[in-house]
Structure 1
Amino acid sequence: MSKKNILLLCGGSGTEHEVSVVSAKFLEKNLKEIGLYNVIKVEIGKPKTNDKTFRLVNADGSLGEAVEINSHRQLVGAKTKEDIHYVVPCIHGPPGETGEIQTYLELISLPYFGCGPEASLICFNKVTSKLWFNALDIPNTPFEFLTSIEDAPKAHKLFDTHGSVFVKAASQGSSVGCYPVSKKSDLDAALKNAFTFSEYVLVEKMVTARELEISTYEFEGKVHASVPGEINCPTAFYSYDEKYDPNSKTTTEVVAPNLSTETIELMRGYAIKTFKALKLRHQSRIDFFYTDKGEIYLNEINTFPGATPISMFPKMMENNGHSYLKFISDIVQKNIL
């Protein structure tokens, strides 16, 4: 019997294209180690362009012919016609974390790894995420959201109340379109810049806090949350460059030090509650702030966390006693056509 085909998608049309390509190498390695499937890799678009073409990735890493997924669950191109039995949409940002790919896969009944379209879209939009956190009584930083630059007075009022704010484009990842503002004279420029990245802008109270992350995932029928890991960024702002530049001075700790058992369990409880309430699926990385006053704030949810050499999600899962290879193998085996 011939092996079934897994389609590994990467790239995307957003600002995180390159990071997605790196993460896909990690996913490809694990999918091939399972040993039961053919892995067909496709890259979407090109960095910093509006190109959204799907292209086969050749064995040497070069891009090959243009292809598409048809309604018969086949990958087709001028020289290609392959049945697809499962999809891994390894895409950070659009069109993966925004739910667009998942919506199409649902339409043609093609099973896939990760969260569904609605959960993806809710979590990718920082405004809707915060509204959900409030509805679930999960603590998060005070905020206002702007639908246009005409709402700027709301941001100024928040600044006056707290003395400094964070301006964030609502629908971007990896700190793209995000600006720490500690001088009121810089606020309007930050708002205008954020609106170039998104139709909605979130403005929230800036807090001095540790940045903690929890791997939250399904394993053998149960939702698990790792102990928090920590991001140690030498600058005041964990920017895109600090996250992904090879020369970044940022360090990570798989187990955040000096946290009480009570704090750890409270954060893990928030993570699991959020995972279940928002109907997340398979995996997520849930990020928190922890202040020197002992305040816990849920910051954001990543529905397709990074899997680069410095990424925390697989490391925290492994530290939690679960093999990433077994995790993804079990999900694929239970859901593949």
Structure 2
Amino acid sequence: MTKKNVLLICGGGSSEHDVSLISAGFIYDQLKDWEDINLYWVEICKDGSRKDKEGNLCELRKSGELVYPDKSIELHFAIPCIHGYPGETGDIQSVFEMMGLPYLGCGPEANILCFNKVSTKLWLDNLGIPNTPSCYVSSLEADQKEKALEFFEKNPDVYIKAASQGSSIGCYHCTDSKDLFNLLEEAFKYSSYVLIEKTIKGRELETSAYEFDGEIIVTAPGEIICPNEFYTYEEKYDGKSETTTTPKAINVPEEVVTLMKKYASTAFKALKIKHLSRVDFFLADDGQVYLNEINTFPGMTPISLFPLMMEHNGHSFKTWLKAIVSKESR
């Protein structure tokens, strides 16, 4: 049998570049000993160059070829393990579409819709899925500042979020109106739209939603237990983080689990997500469930919940990934 050539592309140069490399390392370890494939690690470096695992320069070209100065390798499948730009923004998927190269994860449009917190909320509203009360602004002009201030006066405890960022980048807690405009200005450094969300007091729960044997599977929620009030980038990825994660949250009422599974499945179908996602929720102290965000290529770090929840649900991540590569490679 001819081996399939599988591209594992990572990095990307965004604020989440280093996290992408950690996730890619996890995926690499799942596939490196699989005799049916040749696995090619390519990092999109921060300077824009492309390098393989040995540091050799290479490029992606034409109809899905990995090109070196002295050889060209036809690729059969791609795994875009890139958090943030250009992975979860739909850019790299558009390139693969033009190449005719099959890949893991959803298509360009679904990535675009889910990565932008504003467009995600518009879809959730249309689907009747509760999400955190919010407003968004598109500039720092007077009318937009007035809009933000009016929302803050009704909700004097908010999070200000760059609309198109992940891993808590460009996200700020605001409880004083004197800080509002300065924090908006900071958030605009990361995105052309900024979301202002009411702070929800409660628990932060996550579900894994993925396709398995032709069905959409949604796990029971896992939980992030953060010693600080806000789950920062450092808390997520610093080796000294005191944050813990558990693949199955305790003391969550069964009706809440059922509701979260329903909302996650509905969003997965309607937004045309493919293969995998992590769907995050707030369970407020008053019992209200809010869908917080949808991550179309969740983290795969040692404390990341997506693979842990899949395994806890009885499905091997390695077996699941191999099945997709085997079935969908060209």
TM-score normalised by L of structure 2 = 0.97
Aligned with residue 326 of structure 2, among 317, 333, 337: 333
The question of 1:64 aligning with 2:56 is answered yes
Q: Deviations over 1:277-305 (max 9, x none)?
A: 00000000000000110010000011000
Shift of 1:186: 1.0
Query: 1:73, 1:194 → 2: CA distance?
Result: 37
Letter in 2 for 1:315: L
Deviations 1:229-263 (A, max 9, x none): 00011111111001001111111111111011111
Residue 125 of structure 1 pairs with residue 125 of structure 2: no
Q: Contact conserved, 2:93 with 2:107, CA < 8 A, in 1?
A: yes
**Aligned length, in residue pairs:** 328
Secondary structure in 2 aligned to 1:35? coil
Q: For the Cα contact (< 8 Å) 2:63–2:100, is it kept in 1?
A: no
Match of 1:183 among 164, 172, 176: 176
Q: Indicate the residue corresponding to 1:30 in structure 2.
A: 30
State how far apart, in whole Å, the 2-side matches of 1:202 and 1:236 are.
19
Counterpart check, 1:266 vs 2:259: yes
Q: Deviations over 1:52-103 (max 9, x none)?
A: 2221221xxxx221x2211132111213411111000000001010000000
Q: Does 1:82 align with 2:78?
A: no
Matched, 1:213 2:206: yes
Which residue does 2:8 correspond to in 1?
Answer: 8
Runs of at least 5 residues in structure 2 that lack an aligned partner in the other structure: none
8 Å CA contact 2:63, 2:101 repeated in 1: no
Match of 2:316 in 1: 323
Task: State the one-letter code of the partner of 2:35.
Answer: G
Instruction: Describe the SS at the equivalent of 1:64.
Output: coil
Instruction: Check the 8 A contact 2:14/2:84 in 1, yes or no.
Output: yes
Alpha-carbon separation, structure 2, partners of 1:64 and 1:179: 40
1:292 is aligned to 2:285: yes
Q: Which residue of 2 aligns with 1:20?
A: 20
CA deviation vs aligned residue, 1:119-154 (integer Å, no higher than 9, x gap): 001100011011111011100011111110111211
TM-score normalized with structure 1 length: 0.95
Relative distance call for 1:87 and 1:146 in structure 2 (3 A) is same
| Root mean square deviation of aligned Cα | 1.0
3-state DSSP of counterpart to 2:88: coil
The one-letter code of the counterpart of 2:266 is K
Match for 1:85: what amino acid?
Answer: H
Say whether the 8 Å CA contact 1:158–1:165 is kept in structure 2: no
1:310 aligns with 2:303: yes
Distance in 2, Cα, partners of 1:167 & 1:204: 6
2:272 is the counterpart of 1:251:
no
Residue 53 of structure 1 pairs with residue 46 of structure 2 = no
Distance in 2 of aligned mates of 1:166 and 1:153: 17
Give the SS at the match of 1:110.
Answer: coil
Amino acid at match of 2:249: A
Partner residue of 1:168 out of 140, 161, 167: 161
- Cα deviation, residue 33, structure 1: 3.8
Aligned to 2:102: 111
| Matched position secondary structure for 2:95 | helix
CA contact (8 A) 1:34 1:325 kept: no
In 1: Cα distance, 2:299 partner to 2:4 partner: 26
Q: Distance in 2 between matches of 1:310 and 1:43?
A: 23
Residues 33 and 262 of structure 1, relative CA distance in 2, 3 Å threshold: farther
Q: Which runs of 4+ in 1 moved over 2 A?
A: 32-35
Alpha-carbon distance, 1:2 to partner: 4.0
Deviation (angstroms), 1:13: 2.0
Residue of structure 2 in register with 1:142 after alignment: 133
Which secondary structure state, in structure 1, belongs to the residue aligned with residue 325 of structure 2? helix
Q: What residue identity is the alignment partner of 1:53? A: S
Per-residue deviation at 1:204? 1.1
Per-residue deviation, 1:115: 1.1
Identity of aligned residues (%): 50
Q: Secondary structure in 1 aligned to 2:56?
A: strand
**Distance between the aligned counterparts of 1:217 and 1:33, measured in 2?**
24
Unaligned runs of 5+ in 1: none
